Amino acid sequence: MTEGLIRETWWWPYVMILVAGWLATDVWRWIGVFASGRLREDSELLIWVRCVATALVAGLISKLILFPQGILSETPMWLRIAATCVGFSAFLISRQKVVVGVLAAEAFLIGGWWLLDRVVW
Amino acid sequence: MTVPEGTEQSNLPDEPPRTGRQWFLLGARAAISIPALILTAAFVGYAGLARETGLTLPETLAMTGLIWALPSIVVLTGALSSGMGLIPASIAVALASVRLMPMTMALMPMVKVPGKTKTWHLLIASHFVAVTAWVFAMRNLPDLPREARLPYFTGFGASVTSFVFCMTGIAYMAVERMPDVVAGALVLLTPVYFLCSLWGAARLNVDKIAMVVGLALGPVFFLYLPGLDLLWTGLVGGTATYLGMRVLRGGRS
């Protein structure tokens, strides 16, 4: 296992979860309750905000695929990228069915991993 | 989805109107569905990711129950593992969660009974707003009587959340005993699930461009500005996309 998490005290992660997790997330839902009917969903501000949020999560996606932690990091990078591309293509071909995309990527990864193991032995 | 129709059919001709509790239970039953299963699988994958990152079981469950939005949970996991401070981590998670606001805004007029619904009920129900429950609600609630919608949605959200919560805990404990290939495959499930569902949720072309830009910038910022890389990816990639679109739009009109 990679040494990921830095722990100084046992309670610090919970402060992070409460403030940076729960508050930072639920506050948007509460604002949504109070603002419903007042703010236009296609306003310029919200379009920009959505762009930033989408880019942020997309950056996270490629980070998780290129630099994963733990056991997955032992697979070659090209295999993970290829599995993702296969999964995404399957998703597009199947008229955007998420199940199909996820299953195709997983099948490719597991198959490729298994084959590589055999070749190495 | 055929659930509301199904309940219509099972109605006896002169059955009294259902109570809020009955609608809650009907909503809970409707939670047994394909989208909920996909979401469960994604959280099972997250349990693998959390364990590999070094989060404890109570921490993983606290994040699942309290945040209840997988992208935000994964962003916070990344923030914890890179030792990010409280403020930058809050900003990163808030940016990843901001999409919940327009979603909640769109849902609220649908579940509200004007002059009758208490705001704190709405605040509680709003915690279940996340992609899966929201898509389900927008598709199914309009078929129900107005008074039924809030309890039905709350029942749906509460049962999906509790089921996923339990499955995340079980998966966390089971990962250790899984063969390496399965544990590794679970970790890949989260990014692939996000990639597909984010693309599917994009409503404008600019969302898709922002996604491609973010995919490209993420690793660059991770290598050159580790720590705050997610924030930079979002702000730089998202703003560049937005401005580019404005320039293009301005040039055309």
Judged by a CB distance cut-off of 8 A, whether residue A26 touches chain B is yes
Lowest-pLDDT range of A1-5, A116-120, B115-119, B185-189:
A1-5
Query: Which of B4-8, B100-104, B146-150, B166-170 is least confident?
Result: B4-8
Q: How many helices (H) and strands (E) does chain B have?
A: 14, 0
Asked whether the predicted pLDDT for residue B14 surpasses 70, the reply is no
CA distance A78 to A60: 18
Count the alpha carbons within 13 Å of B27 in the hemisphere toward its beta carbon.
30
Instruction: Specify the higher pLDDT residue, B15 or B114.
Output: B114
CA B82 to chain centre: 23
Residues B44 and B186: beta-carbon distance below 8 Å: yes
User: Does B125 score more than 90 pLDDT?
Assistant: yes
> pLDDT digits over B156-199, tens only?
999 999 999 999 999 999 988 888 888 888 889 889 988 998 88
The Cα–Cα gap between B199 and B208 comes to 7
A69/B53 Cβ within 8 A: yes
Which pLDDT score is estimated for A71?
A: 83
Shortest CA distance from A84: residue in chain B = B192
Please state the rounded mean pLDDT for residues B120-142: 87
In this structure, which amino acid lies at residue B165? F
Residue-averaged pLDDT of chain B = 86
pLDDT-derived band of residue B138, with 50, 70 and 90 as boundaries?
Answer: confident
Q: Does the structure show a pLDDT above 70 at B15?
A: no
In order of A78, B3, B6, B16, B152, the CA distances from B10 in angstroms are 53, 11, 6, 13, 17
Contact A61 B189 (CB under 8 A): no
Contact B241 A22 (CB under 8 A): no
**B219, two tokens:** 């690793």
Residue of B nearest to A38 (CA): B105
B82 in helix, strand or coil? coil
Give the Cα separation of A55 and A63 in Å (integer): 12
In this prediction the pTM is: 0.79
The domain limits of chain B are: 18-201, 202-253
CA B81 from chain centre, in angstroms, equals 21
For testing contact with chain A, the best of B101, B120, B124 (most A CBs within 10 A): B101
The rounded distance, in Å, linking the Cα atoms of B172 and A112 is 25
Q: Give the residue-averaged pLDDT of B195-211.
A: 86
Is the Cβ pair B90, A24 closer than 8 Å? Answer: yes
**For testing contact with chain A, the best of B196, B207, B228, B241 (most A CBs within 10 A):** B196
- For residue A35, is pLDDT > 60? yes
Confidence at B8, pLDDT banded by 50, 70, 90? very low
Residue A19 CA to residue B92 CA, distance in Å, equals 12
Q: Which residue of B has its CA nearest to A87?
A: B192
Q: Residue range B41-55: average pLDDT?
A: 89
R_g (Cα) of chain B, nearest Å: 20
Which member of B83, B126, B189 has the closest CB to residue A32? Answer: B126
Work out the average pLDDT over B202-211: 86
